[in-house]
A and B are shown apart, each in its own frame.
Chain A
Amino acid sequence: MSQADDLGADLGASTERRLLRSVVQVARHAFGAAAASVFLVDPDTGELVFEAVAGEGDDKLVGTRFPAGTGIAGWVAASGQTMLVDDLRESRQFSTEAAESTGYVPDSIMAAPLFSGDACIGVLEVLDRGAFMPAREMADVALLDLLADQAAIGLELLTRLRATSPDLRSDKAMQLLAMAEALLANTHG
């Protein structure tokens, strides 16, 4: 691997991470939520991996894995369906499991799948949204899905760009990348 390749891979990876961080920050802010997180599906094992967290749990959860098909995020990834649940603290089983796995017990979870082509590559999840706003379930789910689609498109573009060797990247793609980097840099002030 040449030095240029190394640099290219690193640049791509860090942009991906910053994109995901930006996504969860926007989601958390848009819903006035306690936390927002993105899981990506590990293509080899099907496990869900915490990739970015804003709010409760922050970055100490990043890298944590959950078996395929478990929990609400697991169901959303497996079924491709968006889902919102409230009153979770009423469920003893849920509370115990959540406390054991993340240390935080939310009262509500809203989760939407991220699609790349015809595959679900991850899940965008929002915990305890809108504590200070009236509940608007249908509109909240719609907004979450819009954010999820935008995040998925961003991820797909980055993945494609990374798959292209640096000398084949078009000027336009490099300009887009530079713009994305500048935007992301701004969100981190």
Chain B
Amino acid sequence: MSAGPGGPTPVAAAAPGTAPTAAGPPGVPGGPAGAAPAPPWRGAVRRHVVGVPAYGAVTSAGGADAFPRADLPGVGPAWAWGGADGAGVRVCVVDSGVEGGHPLIGELDRSVTVVEREDGTVGIVDCPPTDAAGHGTACAGVIRALAPSASLSSVRVLTDGKNGSGDALLAGLAWAVEEGFDVVNLSLATTRTTLAANLHELADRAYFRRCTLVVSAHNRPVPSFPWSFASVVSVASHDEDEPMTYYYNPAPPVEFHARGVRVPVAWPGGGTIRSTGNSFAAPHIAGLCALVLSKHPWLTPAQLKTVLFQCAANVAQRTGGAHEPGR
């Protein structure tokens, strides 16, 4: 609910480098004099999240709002991932498949696909490491670039069957959670409300089994899942070119903004292309999660998200707010 008598207040983007204040973000219209302005997370739920696309509104600056917060002394980027390479962490890409042996990816530990059985149900079988669409390969390359020693596996959930992606998505994600991957990258969203309850249950199961789901945010005027669930790490894009720079968004549901514009990504056939989309922001955070977990393998998903929050550029002041102004 809104805190102010003036009703829900939209969040105004703070100027880069604006110092946070205890009273809340500057520029947020408050109620009558003396009433505390509503902090960003208490305002109305935004119709659209910032990121890609952004409906012509402020894009990356959304992640740089100043906001009051508690600090955990000592938990910063150096503690979180300094010297880490992802070794010992198992990451799974749930997508269109991944091209194994790509120079930017290397070999996969496991490659499986969802298949449709004759009775119409779906199952999981091992498959050659190939990618019919290119998207999963692109995501895997981003993860590999950040976490060179992490183990990578792939579940293909896009099938050629006419059942569409609903059952396949559920089956593929359930498999990844049961297999005990530490991090699962899901650069997909579904808009089918009939899947929401099942996905919610899966996301909660993952959370309690210490499997961190990193999910790209979806920014269309239609409800979509599972990025909007609190148990996952949701990611939209900023438009800077630095792969390790990410921001915490004080006005969720989307919680983090990572590189997602003009990203050089691996593409089937061995080369690279430049690509733009929230899909490519999520694997940056998945790669970071692998780095953090390789150094601190005991972290629960809740703790891991706290570490991500602590180390975000606008919290840890890592980059001094070198934001492009929104377009």
Contact = CB atoms under 8 A, between A and B. Distances in A.
Asked if chains A and B come from one complex, the reply is yes
Interface of A: 44-46, 67-72, 74-75, 78-88, 90-94, 112-113, 115, 117-120, 135-139, 141-146, 149
A45 B224 contact: no
B274 A85 contact: yes
A74 B133 contact: yes
B284 interface: no
- Among B188, B270, B275, which residue has the most Cβ atoms of chain A within 10 A? B275
Interface residues of B, number: 53
Given A79-B187, A87-B274, A68 B164 contact: yes
B252 to A, nearest CB: 19
Nearest to B189: A80
Interface string B151-182: 00000001111111100000000000000000
Contacts of A137: 239, 261-262, 276
Contact of A81 (B163, B218, B327): B218
Interface stretch (B50-58, B82-90, B291-299): B50-58
A149 B221 contact: yes
25 contacts: A46-B161, A70-B132, A71-B132, A72-B135, A79-B165, A80-B188, A80-B189, A81-B278, A82-B53, A83-B279, A84-B276, A85-B267, A85-B276, A92-B270, A112-B53, A115-B220, A118-B192, A118-B193, A136-B327, A138-B52, A138-B53, A138-B60, A138-B239, A139-B327, A149-B220
B275 A75 contact: no
A119 B191 contact: yes
Contacts of A143: 53, 56
B133 A69 contact: yes
A94 B133 contact: no
Contact of A94 (B192, B262, B267): B267
A94 B267 CA distance: 9
- Among B56, B219, B273, which residue has the most Cβ atoms of chain A within 10 A? B273
A47 to B, nearest CB: 9
A140 to B, nearest CB: 8
A120 B191 contact: yes
